[in-house]
Amino acid sequence: MTSAPLRQEVEALRAQLNQHNYRYYVLDEPSIPDVEYDRLLRQLQTIEAQHPELISQDSPTQRVGAQPLTAFGEVTHDMRMLSLDNAFNDDEMRDFERRIKDRLKDTSELEFVCEPKLDGIAVSLLYENGIFVRGATRGDGQTGENITQNLRTVPSIPLTLMGTGWPERLEVRGEVYMPKAGFDAFNKQALANGEKPFVNPRNAAAGSLRQLDSKITASRPLQMCCYSVGIVDGGELPGKHSDVLQQLHRWGFRINDQMKVVQGINGCIDYYQDLQTRRDSLHYEIDGIVFKLNSLELQNKVGFVSRAPRWAIAYKFPAQEEITQLLGVEFQVGRTGAVTPVARLQPVFVGGVTVSNATLHNGDEIERLGVRCGDTVVVRRAGDVIPQVVQVVLEKRPENSTVIEFPSSCPVCGSDVIRAEGEAVARCTGGLYCAAQRKQAIKHFASRKAFDIEGLGDKLVDMLVDQQLINSIADLFHLQHEALSNLERMGDKSAQNLLDALQKSKQTTLARFIYALGIREVGEATAANLAHHFADLDALMQANEEQLLEVNDVGPIVASHIAHFFQQPHNQEIIEALLAEGIRWPSVDKKNVEAMPLAGQTWVLTGTLETLTRDQAKSRLVALGAKVSGSVSAKTHCVVAGASAGSKLTKAESLGIEVRDESALLQLLAQLEAS
Ligand code: IVH
């Protein structure tokens, strides 16, 4: 027999776990560290293991997944799950408003609720007496699949409702989706394991919910956000849609953080424009905005037409995926010799721009996609990410499609192309003999974060190398006015400006100099760390791998690239030649580095900053001695959180790490830079 105190203890543990779960997954405001949550969960698991009669379906221990199914059952939706009409421009939005006003025979201003249209899978969740009893997909709107077991594993779906006053039977509807960070991490892992990645976050959500083994679903980073109700029996809900959502939030559901009530169709259009500019900074993918009449009474009055309500509309954003034809593949050679296949496409409008090239990453990717020249392919351009070929439409493969051969010799210099063991990237072995690598090395040297040579653009570098006016970065400083001014589109004045810019660039910093050399895997931050650590170029050039490993952020791979670079005689010669040209930097005093105000501190930047770019914030922090890292850990000193900061902020808060907003950062920088 189970004793009453034990039952009470179980209830108390469940209530605590539900509360923490709500704070973590619904409010994004955890109040205890993860280890404490795990401890409570283990305590409950231990009791339940000893007293199986105490286990209930709504226990937080049941989120880990259940016995695999052989098939999903069917669920009939007592209330049809509708879909939405779409609008693609402002005129269609105005037509939508006019139709409602005509129907209501009333011209007064209407109130709308704006909600981002999440790109995931619609689900229905049924609660009886506050307990989650059944979850289903939308299916065809009438009949869906019973995916209760899978939905139980989604942490932002409450297994029991919080608070009081819920109807006896309540059907909550919403979208299950995979946030961008979880999607990227999942795909990265899948590729590393040699598994197939998901094409987009929507497919990832669908694929994860369609698992017969709910343990697989439990391992996927899914979220659920609710946007309406279906059946409501034995209870009342507020009379406005926005208030219904707020009520659902109090009962334990996640609602969209961007939801807003606006007046009239102009309010809707303003909201659409504002969110379109912020679309990329959201932590989830959206494909438009849903606008709904706020008054439920008016919703009832205007009613439905076939499968969609007349009181709601989805104003779609330009598509992020399109299909087009792969015309050919060009192999580009980068600064480090990496040979990258670039797809030449029939130009297509996607993600708001016309795309005619997309990356195919490497040979493995070509193989994985099984893509051939002539194929019809799906191209995706999300945010400011480089356009990618994500899928082949096999049904449309033409008879004359041709297999893509990865070159075994460099398309630019003819040297062997070799793929080192364990590496995905194939490289041209020509080094600086290869004009492509030379051009890239010079472009990198001239770039803004390196020598910042104004007027030395990519086209000019191509010309200078093609006409053999320069062969290495050091040659830049031997350029003559006459040769320059004779070049195409280079007058007297621009030639002189370039020579002045070259002269000016000779005064630099040690960090910029190191970065400009273009050593593999040595970015701006690592270059700054190397400069701080060694304070002297000779010391860096002489350092062995062991000594290099002592530098912040330098691991074994980077250390070996650095040591290898400085051992190469031709690199030593180029450095000597550069110094002979009079390149100088102010001396870096090692002691001063240690005395820098932020020395020894690790900072993390997250979210969107308004007045500074990430690069600017980073270089100002680094200049004060801080290390800037991409991930939050117990060693992080401070997190700077901009708009729409997501999981890093949550993690920082759960670890009790100091969090500053942008204005606090600016204040601190100004103060420290002045002293
Ligand atoms: S309301 C009667 N609100 O869009 C209204 N739908 O094209 C039914 N969706 O099947 C849906 N975010 O999967 C609504 N905030 C939102 C939504 C949303 C995404 C999806 C949903 C629906 C589809 C309709």
Ligand 1 atom showing the smallest separation from residue 308 Cα: 2
Once rounded to an integer, what is the mean pLDDT over residues 392-397?
Answer: 94
Q: Indicate whether 631 pLDDT > 90.
A: no
State percent of the chain over pLDDT 70.
99
Ligand 1 atom showing the smallest separation from residue 256 Cα: 15
Cα(297) to ligand 1 centroid in Å equals 20
Note the Cα 475 to chain centre separation in Å.
40
For a ligand 1 pocket test, name from 77, 175, 282, 284 the mutation site with the most ligand atoms within 8 angstroms of its C-beta: 175
- For 469-489, the pLDDT digits (tens) are 998 999 999 999 999 999 988
Q: How far apart are CA 359 and CA 213, in angstroms?
A: 35
Confidence bin at 334 (pLDDT 50/70/90): very high
Question: Is CATH 3.40.50.1370 the right assignment for the domain spanning 76-311?
Answer: no
pLDDT recorded at residue 144: 95
Q: Indicate whether 1 pLDDT > 60.
A: no
Give start-end residues of each CATH 1.10.150.20 domain in the chain.
414-594
Q: Is the CB of 115 under 6 A from ligand 1?
A: yes
Residue 350 has φ and ψ, to the nearest 5°, of -150, 135
Cα(136) to ligand 1 centroid in Å equals 15
Question: Of all protein residues, whose CA lies closest to atom 17 belonging to ligand 1?
Answer: 117
Give start-end residues of each CATH 3.30.470.30 domain in the chain.
76-311
Question: Is CATH 2.30.30.790 the right assignment for the domain spanning 414-594?
Answer: no
Q: How far apart are CA 289 and CA 272, in angstroms?
A: 7
Q: How far apart are CA 339 and CA 411, in angstroms?
A: 9
For a ligand 1 pocket test, name from 77, 112, 118 the mutation site with the most ligand atoms within 8 angstroms of its C-beta: 118
Token pair 């439990």: residue: 218
Q: Indicate whether 591 pLDDT > 70.
A: no
**Residue 339 pairs with which residues in a beta bridge?**
333
- The fourth-level CATH superfamily of domain 596-675 is BRCT domain (3.40.50.10190)
Three-state SS string over 132-189 comes to EEEEEECCCCCEEEECHHHHHCCCCCCCECCCCCCCCEEEEEEEEECCHHHHHHHHHH
Confidence bin at 589 (pLDDT 50/70/90): low
* Among 473, 506, 670, 675, residue whose Cα is nearest residue 586: 506
Once rounded to an integer, what is the mean pLDDT over residues 449-476?
Answer: 93
pLDDT recorded at residue 283: 92
Q: How far apart are CA 340 and CA 59, in angstroms?
A: 51
pLDDT recorded at residue 645: 81
- Amino acid letter at 375? D
Question: Of all protein residues, whose CA lies closest to atom 3 belonging to ligand 1?
Answer: 227
For a ligand 1 pocket test, name from 142, 173, 227 the mutation site with the most ligand atoms within 8 angstroms of its C-beta: 227
pLDDT recorded at residue 522: 94
pLDDT recorded at residue 28: 80
Q: How far apart are CA 51 and CA 143, in angstroms?
A: 38
Residue 547 has φ and ψ, to the nearest 5°, of -70, -35
Q: How far apart are CA 486 and CA 88, in angstroms?
A: 52
Ligand 1 atom showing the smallest separation from residue 309 Cα: 2
Q: Is 117 a catalytic residue?
A: yes
pLDDT recorded at residue 597: 83
pLDDT recorded at residue 191: 85
Q: Is the CB of 161 under 6 A from ligand 1?
A: no
Q: CATH topology for 4-62?
A: Helix Hairpins (1.10.287)
Q: Is the CB of 124 under 6 A from ligand 1?
A: no
**Mean model confidence pLDDT for the chain:** 92
- Amino acid letter at 56? S
Token reading at 115: 């909600």
Give start-end residues of each CATH 1.10.287.610 domain in the chain.
4-62
Once rounded to an integer, what is the mean pLDDT over residues 345-372?
Answer: 93
Cα(290) to ligand 1 centroid in Å equals 7
Cα(551) to ligand 1 centroid in Å equals 51
321-403 CATH: 2.40.50.140
Cα(137) to ligand 1 centroid in Å equals 13
Confidence bin at 251 (pLDDT 50/70/90): very high
Q: Is the CB of 82 under 6 A from ligand 1?
A: yes
Name residues whose C-beta falls within 8 Å of residue 613's C-beta, 6 or more positions apart in sequence: none
Confidence bin at 417 (pLDDT 50/70/90): very high
- For 275-310, the pLDDT digits (tens) are 998 998 899 999 999 999 999 999 999 999 888 999
Cα(117) to ligand 1 centroid in Å equals 7
E strands along 200-320, which residues? 223-233, 260-263, 286-293, 304-305, 308-309, 312-316
- For 196-226, the pLDDT digits (tens) are 899 889 999 999 999 999 999 999 999 999 9
Confidence bin at 608 (pLDDT 50/70/90): confident
pLDDT recorded at residue 419: 94
Q: Is the CB of 439 under 6 A from ligand 1?
A: no
Q: Indicate whether 593 pLDDT > 80.
A: no
From 126-140, 306-320, 595-609, the region with the lowest mean pLDDT: 595-609
Angle among Cα 42, 17, 29 to the nearest 5 degrees reads 125
Is 515 in contact with 509 (CB distance < 8 Å)?
Answer: no
Question: Of all protein residues, whose CA lies closest to atom 21 belonging to ligand 1?
Answer: 122
Q: Is the CB of 84 under 6 A from ligand 1?
A: yes
**Catalytic residue (one of 101, 105, 117, 180):** 117
pLDDT recorded at residue 57: 86
Q: Is the CB of 117 under 6 A from ligand 1?
A: yes
pLDDT recorded at residue 195: 85
Q: How far apart are CA 223 and CA 155, in angstroms?
A: 7
Q: Is the CB of 224 under 6 A from ligand 1?
A: no
Once rounded to an integer, what is the mean pLDDT over residues 536-558?
Answer: 92
Q: What does pTM read for this prediction? A: 0.71
Cα(202) to ligand 1 centroid in Å equals 13
Q: Which residues of 497-534 are buried (b: 16+ CB within 10 A; e: fewer)?
A: ebbebbeebeebbbbbbbbbbbbeebebbbbbbbbbbb
Cα(581) to ligand 1 centroid in Å equals 65
Q: Is the CB of 228 under 6 A from ligand 1?
A: yes
Give start-end residues of each CATH 3.40.50.10190 domain in the chain.
596-675
Once rounded to an integer, what is the mean pLDDT over residues 84-109?
Answer: 94
pLDDT recorded at residue 655: 86
Once rounded to an integer, what is the mean pLDDT over residues 404-432?
Answer: 92
Q: What is the DSSP string of 389-450?
A: EEEE-GGG--TT-EEPPPPSB-TTT-PBEEE-TT-S-EEETTGGGSHHHHHHHHHHHHSTTT
Is 256 in contact with 233 (CB distance < 8 Å)?
Answer: no
Once rounded to an integer, what is the mean pLDDT over residues 323-350?
Answer: 95
Q: Is the CB of 289 under 6 A from ligand 1?
A: no
Confidence bin at 352 (pLDDT 50/70/90): confident
Once rounded to an integer, what is the mean pLDDT over residues 598-612?
Answer: 86
Once rounded to an integer, what is the mean pLDDT over residues 636-648?
Answer: 87
- For 22-76, the pLDDT digits (tens) are 988 888 887 788 888 889 999 999 999 999 999 988 899 989 888 889 999 999 9
